[in-house]
Structure 1
């Protein structure tokens, strides 16, 4: 009997030890699986952040040099032997404004017809070492082609400069900037260089004696795109085009999208029609953006004859593309509101409209605002639909209204990326990307700030 009892106890202890071991093995396996899952997630986040860091680092390294530009400090002499022009008209006694303006415009027209390249050439020769031999064409290749306009405008603003000497800063050419910044190897053969040997030698001498110096490239922010003077090309026109389009998207997409979501979620009866509408909205959110460009070209350009390459047409296309995102996000925010809030409002005697607009909607404002600005930021970076409505056209002016021809920041990046002067515009392209990213980060920062403020009030 004692042996039987001892055997049973031993068997029970062994079974208990087996169960304990089984439990411990199970726990160990579970902890190992959880640790693998945890560190896999951490590794995925680190990998994603690493790729983002590499992308940003590449853009910064390539783009930062574009924010400096080579400036020529010239001593310009308005030699009457070169600037052969009569003195500027002076208002005579009793002369009407119309007559004086006509005479002044005629004088300015004659000034514009002068060969101002000779003035630029004379200024460059005066800055060069005495006796330095260089061809006129090679000499003029050092200064940007719009230098003559800068010198001419200074004379038009002050006609008394005729026969005098003054200091004027102009931009060095894009080819000169490539040579100074080392965008082209100095060891490359003459056939691979953009400038002749005398021009390159003179540029180095200008850099040594201070005639050429680097400064901040304000032209990126103050000028429009330029094909004749690449060194002065800027983003102002594209920035204004994007700004007009974003204003149109905000004015149209936000109220229409939010109102549609409120109706579908709170007021629309559940039927086949509403189900069909919901399915189509979800499908539209997944449609490629280029399809919206085709729709915009067919509808707004060919049917309604809106101006080609105008921010109005681009804004309408981006509005159509952004609407599904705003509707879906707003409906998601409304669905996240606790049903008890609706029941409490209705129980206190509020109508359904009062319940939605006075109680439910204020709670969802932060989420709706965030989703809206994210949708607008996404529209800001779209390129494909804008290309199909002609916004890749070269526009050398700043749009004053949404009906004027314009381009957009993403399209400007696309155009600069394909520019034939690759050595110069590669850094400009990265600089434009930096400006676009800064604009998008600003929009997201505004969303976060407003969301925080609204959450505190709620």
Structure 2
């Protein structure tokens, strides 16, 4: 009887053990599947980012290079219509005629009106201004001959750049006769691909080959400067008050809830707020870094306040207790001990908030920073645009060359964003203290 009971108990134990092992195998199998889904999602996300970056770089790398045409020009006073070099004479001089004479001398076979119109469209419309600047720098060249390099038209630049990508080249608006002239110039070395410094040194333009991002970069810098000057001290002061001095009651709870809610409000709402208050009520100048900085300050403040409060909470209570035990007042404890120790986290939050503000477009569109800006702004009240808005404008342009400009501007913007985020990580690692 005892043996039967023991064998029955052993069989039950085996069944229980078998059931447990099956459950464990099933659970381990589910964990592996879940882990596999997690790894697959990470790999898929990285692949999407890699494809996106590859596409942007492939489309935009050509904007950093521009083809230049070698011309032998004659600064003929009769063609220019001037007798001396001064500012008033240069403003009326016929530099376009000098360019046309150089092109006719290079391709004398272009005789009819249509052929010459195609021939004259090879240099950029910026070429006469390049000659004017050159003659203004060296007045002694009047009446002399000189070899000079000028930019080519955007269609010409696109055709030459496509020679290595598409067999026969991307024709676009280039006729067969014009393509023959371009191939002759390219093979003789009179068309060269050079680094496009004008992309970083000039403002926007209707002509793709002349368009640059300097005005947008300066506008972004001025706008972020206003944002930093306003949002960081106000955000830190609000965080210090709420965390160290504010009484814990329904009003402070209401303020905290609203700050958390404002961090999730769509950015275009802040643009509408800026349009209603700063432009319509206070009548501040539209499309200026000042009002752009004010709007981005409203958008950035919740992020800075939340991150600053988290940094203050991370300071150990023993620091406060030790300082107060040595006779320090509440204000001395906060400003001499707590605030310096929390500053790395505050700076990190501020940099992340500014990086977010740098990439914003919607609120700035609402306050008019979508204007066509050629001149580089010199102050916070001058008309300006920012880099994301410049990208938005170029993306809507029909010319093929603006596709390169758009992708190149995105690359510059991503470089700034990555630099700012890396700076935040470096500050946190450099200044943080382990408790």
Q: Which residue of 1 aligns with 2:414?
A: 437
1:174 aligns with 2:154: yes
Decide whether the 8 Å contact of 2:162 with 2:169 is kept in 1: no
Q: After superposition, where does 1:107-146 map in structure 2 within 5 Å?
A: 107-128=86-107, 130-133=108-111, 135-146=115-126
Q: Which residue of 2 aligns with 1:300?
A: 278
Decide whether the 8 Å contact of 1:265 with 1:334 is kept in 2: yes
- Report SS of the residue matched to 1:321: helix
Q: Which residue of 2 aligns with 1:10?
A: 7
Q: Which residue of 1 aligns with 2:210?
A: 232
Decide whether the 8 Å contact of 2:223 with 2:293 is kept in 1: yes
1:450 pairs, out of 413, 420, 427, with: 427
Q: After superposition, where does 1:378-393 map in structure 2 within 5 Å?
A: 378-393=356-371
Structure 1 stretches lacking a partner, 5+ long: 89-106
Structure 1 position 187, deviation (Å): 7.7
Superimposed CA distance per residue, residues 262-306 of structure 1 (whole angstroms, 9 cap, x where no aligned partner): 111121011121111112111211111111111111211222222
Superimposed CA distance per residue, residues 237-272 of structure 1 (whole angstroms, 9 cap, x where no aligned partner): 000000001111111101111110111112101112
Q: Which residue of 2 aligns with 1:218?
A: 197
Q: Which residue of 2 aligns with 1:162?
A: 142
Q: Which residue of 2 aligns with 1:104?
A: none
Change (3 A) 1:248 1:457: farther
1:197 pairs, out of 156, 176, 196, with: 176
- Report SS of the residue matched to 2:69: strand
Distance 1:348 1:8 in 2: 75
Q: Which residue of 2 aligns with 1:358?
A: 336
Superimposed CA distance per residue, residues 2-57 of structure 1 (whole angstroms, 9 cap, x where no aligned partner): xx111121122112222222322232223223222222222221111111111111
Decide whether the 8 Å contact of 1:141 with 1:195 is kept in 2: no
- Report SS of the residue matched to 2:244: helix
Residues 50-59 or 341-350, more deviating = 341-350
Q: After superposition, where does 1:236-251 map in structure 2 within 5 Å?
A: 236-251=214-229
Distance 2:32 2:320 in 1: 43
1:328 aligns with 2:286: no
Change (3 A) 1:267 1:237: same
Distance 1:383 1:414 in 2: 8
Distance 1:358 1:37 in 2: 49
Structure 1 position 125, deviation (Å): 2.2
Residues 13-22 or 323-332, more deviating = 13-22
1:62 aligns with 2:59: yes
1:263 pairs, out of 226, 241, 244, with: 241
Structure 2 stretches lacking a partner, 5+ long: none
1:83 aligns with 2:77: no
1:153 aligns with 2:128: no
Structure 1 position 176, deviation (Å): 0.9
1:72 aligns with 2:58: no
Decide whether the 8 Å contact of 1:127 with 1:211 is kept in 2: no
Distance 2:310 2:179 in 1: 63
Structure 1 position 344, deviation (Å): 4.3
Superimposed CA distance per residue, residues 361-381 of structure 1 (whole angstroms, 9 cap, x where no aligned partner): 333333222221111000000
- Report SS of the residue matched to 2:199: helix
1:369 aligns with 2:347: yes
Return the TM-score normalized by structure 1: 0.89
Change (3 A) 1:186 1:20: closer
Structure 1 position 347, deviation (Å): 4.2
Superimposed CA distance per residue, residues 161-200 of structure 1 (whole angstroms, 9 cap, x where no aligned partner): 12111121110011111222239978899xx842343323
Superimposed CA distance per residue, residues 65-93 of structure 1 (whole angstroms, 9 cap, x where no aligned partner): 111111011111112330221224xxxxx
Structure 1 position 427, deviation (Å): 1.1
Decide whether the 8 Å contact of 2:160 with 2:169 is kept in 1: no
Structure 1 position 333, deviation (Å): 2.6
Decide whether the 8 Å contact of 1:240 with 1:399 is kept in 2: yes
Distance 1:44 1:354 in 2: 50
